[in-house]
Structure 1
Amino acid sequence: MDFNLSEEQQMLRDAANRYVREQYGFEARRRLQAAGDASTPHWAQYAEMGWLGLGIPEDFGGLGCGFVETALVAEELGRALALEPYIGCAVLAARLVETADAPVFASQRRGELLEAMAGGVLQIALAHSEPAGRYELDAASTIARAEGDGFVIEGTKLMIPGAQGADLFIVSAQVDGEGLALFLVDKGAATLHGYPLIDGTLAADLELRSVYVAADARLTAPGSGLAKLEEALDRAALAQVAEALGCMEAVLDTSSEYLKTRQQFGQPIGRFQALQHRISEMFVEVQETRSILYRGIASLDGAPALRRQAVSAAKVLLASSARFVGGQGIQLHGGIGLTDEYPIGHYYKRLLALTTLYGDGEWHLGRFVEAQRETAA
């Protein structure tokens, strides 16, 4: 794998970095968070710059780029502590729509949905987690029973990131005799209970009570739902590693600058060897996270077992690295690191959220072991 960015990729990275520095400063982010509004002016800008269509094929209004470009943008959005559900919509939901294989849906709705998503006029969120399901993908108790020409869906979904701003939901449900399937559900057809997460982003629970959907709302053919969901979630989890990498780099940069300017005993505290060692350890954790992200990207389009192994390895490492880098950032800043007016605490909260969404370190460790056994067999 060539780790050097192409000219186009470097231009994309520079443009994203410039945008978040000039248009998405920390104070601007705090105002958006305080407003608690699911719709922000940045989403239209993301679409205008092509970020929402990076992974969408050109035939459907996207740019048809690889995952590297998505990771570059996610990393810069991590630096900005972006509140918008970029990964949940532009990576996860877009992938599920793109790979949908239900004959009726694929022939009628795929193109129009992807074009609307790339244009920033449509947001879709995945509704999969349930009260007793934890991270297991096949543990959904929501059911979809055939009725007339469509289906009636019953169940409850928990903690859907970006739900308040979504126009449609991709709902996972068990179909009798077929297993897990995915359905598109209009926002107005279900009951939404919204709340903020620890990092200031918005999420919601979804109640589906006898919600009827037409036949063309089904995304997956019988027997393919679980595999489609797992593949898309792996891409989203890896994009979150890239976002967390951006957060960790920002913590490292902010902490290094603070050590150069904070005076103690008549000199910058950065001259103290013990603090230099902490910064060095943080640097190593950041570089290890970048390396394992590269490994995940290289394995993303490989055999399913190898993909699962690489993605879970990245999430396991992130679980420890994110806590260490975020925690050390607060320690190096002292009391100011805990205040709401300073960014370090916000980065720590965002890192905590990223380590648990789409599977925490403990769950991914078990999944890594299973995948390793499968590849060794």
Structure 2
Amino acid sequence: MNFQHTEDRRMLADTLNRFIGEQYDFNARDRIACSAEGFSKDLWSRFAELGVIGALFDEADGGFGGAGFDIAVVFESLGRGLVVEPFLDTLIVGRAVARSGNDAQKAVLGELMEGSRIVALAHGEPESHYELARVTTRAERSGNTWQLNGAKAVVQHGEHASLFLVSARTSGDADAQDGVTLFLVPRDAAGVSVRGYRKIDGGRAAEVTFENVTLNDDALLGSAGEGFATLEYATGCGVLALCAEAVGAMDVAKDHTLEYLRTRKQFGVPIGSFQALQHRMADLLLEIEQARSAVINAAAALGAERKVRERAVSAAKYSIGRIGTLVAEECIQLHGGIGMTWELPLAHYAKRLVMIDHQLGDEDHHLERFAALGRE
């Protein structure tokens, strides 16, 4: 099997890596991540001009990529720079709209790819515990409209999104896949309230509350009660993206640690010459390659039938959760106390790797999900 990227993908990766290297160094990233906005609107527009957002979508939807490996290439580069711009939710919401939206709704895809609109996925709830079908936010039919009530947690870039993709239950029990409905809800709709806050790994998120929000049928994404399949597919794209981002971050953490082992001296020699540290580093390199293989497998399976696709992305997320935590711990330990300082970029890469494990389902969740899918 040929694991080499196509020429177009190599060119995209080279261009993106060069741009991030020149425009998104650690000091710039730290300033952006700690800003009131939590991302840079200017850089978001420049990413769009480079075609990076368009690479996440199929040609039929106005993009020029959209395959699993296109997503992996983009997000691996983003992981190398710890980029905090809203790529993940743009991918998830955009792929959901592309899959189930009508012609009017799909018009938003062009705005996403040109960077003129920020969107956010409002799905997770305080008691959902990563379970995709566990939705207690409700939408009830009232004449010719829907009344939406509920609360969503950790909505990425929720303060600045002009449009939310909201999951709500229109029928069935709280854990049932049937009865989950997706709505596109404008940020300025009456009854929508947003409370923003900083995230521990940089950028911002928000708690979003919907109180008697009135929606027409044109807000429905797909059919009422049948939104789970779209949500699962779009979230799977997001899981692949997170896994690729983690591999990019692991590569940088590895490179920084190798450089430190070559230059830090103890007893008059580089500490990298100590056999015990060499063994630890060699084991770490093997684990990172295992993570890379898991991402390749998930990217290749993204276009497969549901069970194959979902098992591959859950296997990748499990591997990334375990290996990402290991990389964070080992790289900090090999650096010693300096590895925990704010001024050292490594500490931020380690923090991001740990937090990726908790986005869209952690290691334990995806191990259980992988096993459950195998029993279906």
Pick the TM interval, shorter chain: over 0.9
In the TM superposition, residue 203 of structure 1 has moved relative to its aligned partner by 0.9
> Within the alignment, does 1:146 sit opposite 2:146 as a pair?
no
Residue in 1 aligned with 2:207? 205
Work out whether residues 55 and 64 of structure 1, in 8 Å CA contact, stay in contact via their aligned partners in 2.
yes
The within-5 A match list for 1:60-79 is: 60-79=61-80
Identify which of 160, 167, 188 aligns with 1:165. 160
Segments of 5+ residues of structure 2 without an aligned counterpart are 173-177
In the TM superposition, residue 223 of structure 1 has moved relative to its aligned partner by 4.0
The within-5 A match list for 1:1-377 is: 1-40=1-40, 41-89=42-90, 91-101=91-101, 106-110=102-106, 112-176=107-171, 179-189=179-189, 190-374=192-376
One-letter identity of the residue aligned with 1:125: A
Work out whether residues 71 and 239 of structure 1, in 8 Å CA contact, stay in contact via their aligned partners in 2.
yes
In the TM superposition, residue 298 of structure 1 has moved relative to its aligned partner by 1.6
Work out whether residues 34 and 203 of structure 2, in 8 Å CA contact, stay in contact via their aligned partners in 1.
no
State the Cα deviation string for residues 240-277 of structure 1 (Å, max 9, x = none): 00000000000000000111111211111111111111
Between the aligned partners of 1:31 and 1:208, the Cα distance in structure 2 is 32
SS at match of 1:295: helix
Between the aligned partners of 1:64 and 1:80, the Cα distance in structure 2 is 22
Work out whether residues 318 and 363 of structure 2, in 8 Å CA contact, stay in contact via their aligned partners in 1.
yes
In the TM superposition, residue 150 of structure 1 has moved relative to its aligned partner by 2.5
SS at match of 1:54: helix
In the TM superposition, residue 311 of structure 1 has moved relative to its aligned partner by 0.9
Between the aligned partners of 1:188 and 1:342, the Cα distance in structure 2 is 40
- Where does structure 1 differ by over 4 angstroms across 4 or more consecutive aligned residues? none
In the TM superposition, residue 55 of structure 1 has moved relative to its aligned partner by 2.8
SS at match of 1:356: coil
In the TM superposition, residue 73 of structure 1 has moved relative to its aligned partner by 1.2
Between the aligned partners of 2:62 and 2:311, the Cα distance in structure 1 is 32
How much is the aligned-residue C-alpha RMSD, in angstroms? 1.4
In the TM superposition, residue 77 of structure 1 has moved relative to its aligned partner by 0.7
In the TM superposition, residue 370 of structure 1 has moved relative to its aligned partner by 0.8
Work out whether residues 38 and 165 of structure 1, in 8 Å CA contact, stay in contact via their aligned partners in 2.
no
In the TM superposition, residue 8 of structure 1 has moved relative to its aligned partner by 1.1
SS at match of 1:286: helix
- 328-337 or 130-139, larger mean C-alpha shift: 130-139
SS at match of 2:38: coil
Work out whether residues 199 and 346 of structure 1, in 8 Å CA contact, stay in contact via their aligned partners in 2.
yes
Residue in 1 aligned with 2:175? none
In the TM superposition, residue 39 of structure 1 has moved relative to its aligned partner by 4.3
In the TM superposition, residue 47 of structure 1 has moved relative to its aligned partner by 0.4
One-letter identity of the residue aligned with 2:57: I
